[in-house]
Structure 1
Amino acid sequence: MVGTKGAKTSSRLAESMLELIQRHGYSGAALNAVVEHAGAPKGSLYFHFPEGKEALGEKAVELAAARFGSLVADSALEAATPGEVLRRVIDELAGMLDDSGFQLGCPVSVVTLEMGAQSERLRDACANAFESWIVPVSEMLIAHGRPRLTARALATALVSMVEGAVIVSRAQRSIEPLHCAAQAIAVLLEQDREVSA
């Protein structure tokens, strides 16, 4: 029972860190604010994350990676082609951005930009997160007939395009950049399919 309660507290802290990173950036996610947001006892943060903010940030990045991975996987179950999968993912991201008033961005890109040069631990967590998105997209492309090296390169470009579109959408407070990315991805996948055929 104690273990379950502790796991729930640890999970709430990571969830709160993730949300605060999305809203205020890594630097703006103060530990006291995380504890307050999570409704956790004050001493619980260092009990669950004895290595401090970087460890909690790493957990938040892992959580974000898993959520985006689930979004891709769920979209793949409902769509027949890679283009349709990515369109569903982009539509979902556009909805999240719009619903949040363009306050919630991708925490992985935020942490990369803020901490990538300062913390090897957080840079590695972000690199692993991006890799966890590139690999399934690459595997999906391979399953649809792309050669392995081509699929890997294309998957890397597609993930990068979506990430960039999220950033531009937040800056412009418009989902139009995401829709433009979706259109460009559809063209890119169609051209690549013709070349690979």
Structure 2
Amino acid sequence: MEMDTKSLIVDIATNLFQQKGYKGVGLNEILKECKITKGSLYHHFPNGKEELLITCLRFMNEAITTDIKDILNRYPNTLEATQAMIEKLVADFDREGTIAGHTFSSMVSEMASVSEPVRNACSDLYTKIQGILSSKLVEDGFSKETAHSIALMMTASIEGGMMLCLTQKSSEPLKIISQLLPNLLNS
């Protein structure tokens, strides 16, 4: 059953971090929600809360990148795929009032004050997303350099759009980004 406890901790902690941010979640709250002892937590995560956060970030990284790859594979080009992706985010937001599962920002808005390993885990996700988008853009016929730049712009726009939706309590920002994407991709 070893693996199960660890998965459970990661699952519950990911949700807590998404809702409250890294600093907003105390160790005791994690223990209480997981119904485990401190000893059990440190058995799975010897370096404590920060190691747990990094594991949560990697877990989300897998989920998010798999999601993006699936969507990109289903559509003939980057524009249609990205618009479908944004549509899904908008639907999630309109239904639940949040888009926790797709953004790291809610978990690590305190980036500047967290450690290098945490920063690297976040950087890794954004690099991966840009890489996935970039490959699809090259398939669309963009040069490697242009694809790289557009992928960065798209990643920043969507990530920023999610933050704007959360702060404005409206899905409008993502809808606007979706409408402007053709300008970026038909240049």
| TM-score scaled by length of structure 2 | 0.92
**1:142 correspondence with 2:138:** yes
C-alpha deviation, 1:74, in angstroms = 1.3
Equivalent-residue separation in structure 1 for 2:82 and 2:22 (angstroms): 28
Q: Unpaired runs of 5+ in structure 1?
A: 192-197
Contact (CA 8 Å) 1:14, 1:59: kept in 2 or not?
yes
Taking the TM superposition and a 5 Å limit, the aligned residue runs for 1:97-116 are: 97-102=93-98, 104=100, 106-116=102-112
* Equivalent in the alignment of 1:20: 16
**1:169 correspondence with 2:184:** no
C-alpha deviation, 1:46, in angstroms = 0.8
Moved over 6 A (4+): none
How many pairs does the alignment contain? 187
Q: 1:128 to 1:63 in 2, by over 3 A?
A: same
C-alpha deviation, 1:41, in angstroms = 4.5
What secondary structure, in the 3-state scheme, does the structure 1 residue paired with 2:22 have? coil
Q: Deviations over 1:135-193 (max 9, x none)?
A: 111111111111111111110110110000000000111111111111112221122xx
What secondary structure, in the 3-state scheme, does the structure 1 residue paired with 2:142 have? coil
Contact (CA 8 Å) 2:54, 2:117: kept in 1 or not?
yes
Aligned residues with identical type, % of pairs: 28
C-alpha deviation, 1:37, in angstroms = 2.5
C-alpha RMSD over aligned residues: 1.8
| TM-score scaled by length of structure 1 | 0.87
**1:120 correspondence with 2:137:** no
Deviates more, 1:110-119 or 1:74-83: 110-119
Deviates more, 1:160-169 or 1:12-21: 12-21
Q: 1:61 to 1:47 in 2, by over 3 A?
A: same
* Equivalent in the alignment of 1:50: 46
Q: 1:56 to 1:14 in 2, by over 3 A?
A: same
* Equivalent in the alignment of 2:62: 66
AA at the equivalent of 2:86: I
Q: Deviations over 1:23-80 (max 9, x none)?
A: 1111112222223333445432111001011101101111121111111111122211
Equivalent-residue separation in structure 2 for 1:16 and 1:107 (angstroms): 16
C-alpha deviation, 1:130, in angstroms = 0.8
**1:29 correspondence with 2:22:** no
2:6 pairs, out of 5, 10, 14, with 10
Equivalent-residue separation in structure 2 for 1:46 and 1:107 (angstroms): 27
Taking the TM superposition and a 5 Å limit, the aligned residue runs for 1:179-194 are: 179-191=175-187
C-alpha deviation, 1:91, in angstroms = 1.6
Give the structure, 1 or 2, with the largest relative contact order (CA under 8 Å, sep 6 or more).
Answer: 2
Q: Unpaired runs of 5+ in structure 2?
A: none
Contact (CA 8 Å) 1:22, 1:106: kept in 2 or not?
no
Equivalent-residue separation in structure 1 for 2:99 and 2:142 (angstroms): 37
